[in-house]
Amino acid sequence: MPQPQPAVFAEGTPSHWFLHYRLVDGADLDAVRGAVSAVRAEAAGTTPTDAVNLAVGFGPDLLARLAPDDVPEGFHPFTAVGSEPGPVAVATQEDLFFWVHGNRPDRNFDLAHTARRALDGRATLARETVGWVWHDNRDLTGFIDGTANPPVEEARELAVVADGPGAGGSFVITQRYVHDLDAFDALDTEAQEAVIGRSRADSVELEDKPADAHISRVEIEDDDGEEIEIYRRSVPYGTSEEHGLYFLAFSDGLGAFDAMLARMYGASGDGLHDRLMDFTHPVSGAYYFAPGVEVLNRIAPTPDRED
Ligand code: HEM
């Protein structure tokens, strides 16, 4: 199978940086390719200790222009889910996404800065978020995030397009959630656990979890009764004033994300929405495709680092 971008599956990194760029009208595509190459070269570093993980994702329009033969089936822009007065997943689709992560915030900054300079005049920075691991991989609600995530070897199977156009690449969802921790922290532990569907201390699934608990809404099965899984890589972000979860996940199709969001945002036809959405709301939402290394090298080549 074609190789996925290694940064998608590099785990255990504490420092994260997320960048979303929107192409300016009439941007020269060769210049955009050159800018992405420059960012990739910066990520490779000049020594192994300077290297930083970089995953590059493209929005549907840009991917179709840069690599028309490598657009995977069913790749569509993110559109809003849900409607007022219920929770709404807003859509803020952009063209280019960089996920930078590693052990060194200084190197993440170098890379973000390189991207800013390289894309100057070609794309505008639409959103930038700095994320970090909090305590023992907990979301700021205090609950462990990632318990039911597939182990990395399994994730490489389920979150990578196996064949056809886009083989070796992954579909990406990004949403920046702003939490209302005053409201959530005002609940007692039992009520908080009913919102999530797991115990707070050690993330054990509740035996009688409510139908609107978060994990009740996102545990879904395909027509053969197999659980549909995604690979989540979310981290907390923010300041003492505004903070929450930077939700990031990968899959081999958009169907899983679409179905989970419909159930979370009251758009699946059963009259329920995810209770967690009463305590947090997304202020961004986009889909990207992170092509495999071979396609990425064709779009924006970068010389191999010589160690
Ligand atoms: C603020 C936003 C969110 C928070 C705080 C959050 C938090 C959590 C927590 C605490 C768990 C239980 C532990 C675990 O298995 O990781 C969980 C599970 C899960 N979440 Fe979320 N989540 C959020 C958004 C989303 C979204 C947008 C999706 C899908 C589009 C999603 C999909 C899942 C899935 C698939 C599971 C595993 C369910 C299972 O099989 O047990 N989450 N989440």
> DSSP characters for 195-257?
HHTB-TTT-PBPTT--TTSHHHHH--B-TTSPBP--EE--EEEE-SSSEEEEEEEEESSSHHH
The answer to whether residue 275 scores a pLDDT higher than 50 is: yes
Ramachandran angles phi, psi of 185, nearest 5°: -70, -15
Question: Per-residue pLDDT for 1 more than 90?
Answer: no
214, 178, 113, 61: CA torsion to nearest 10: 60
Q: Are strands 231-232 and 243-251 parallel, antiparallel or unpaired?
A: antiparallel
- pLDDT > 70 fraction of the chain, expressed in percent and rounded: 98
Tell me if 260 CB under 6 Å of ligand 1. Answer: yes
Looking at the chain, how many residues does it have? Answer: 307
Point out the catalytic residue in the list 145, 212, 252, 274.
Answer: 145
Residue 1 CA to ligand 1 center (angstroms) comes to 29
Instruction: For residues 67-94, give the mean pLDDT.
Output: 98
Please state the rounded mean pLDDT for residues 6-27.
98
* Ligand 1 probe mutation, 218, 222, 264, 268, most atoms within 8 A of CB: 218
pLDDT tops 70 at residue 306: no
How remote is the CA of residue 194 from the centroid of ligand 1, in Å? Answer: 14
Closest atom of ligand 1 to 173 CA is 30
Q: Ligand 1 centroid to 215 CA: how many Å?
A: 6
pLDDT digits (tens, 9 = 90+) for 174-232: 999 999 999 999 999 999 999 999 999 999 999 999 999 999 999 999 999 999 999 99
* Active site (annotated) includes residue 222: no
pLDDT in the model for residue 307: 47
Residue 303 has pLDDT above 90, yes or no: no
Q: Give every CB contact of residue 169 below 8 A, 6+ residues apart in sequence.
A: 4, 5, 70, 72, 160, 161, 289, 290, 291, 292, 295
What is the Å distance from ligand 1's center to 149 Cα? 9
Instruction: Convert the pLDDT of each residue in 239-272 to its tens digit.
Output: 999 999 999 999 999 999 999 999 999 999 999 9
Q: 125 vs 24, 42, 118, 119, 168, CA distance in Å? A: 10, 18, 12, 9, 27
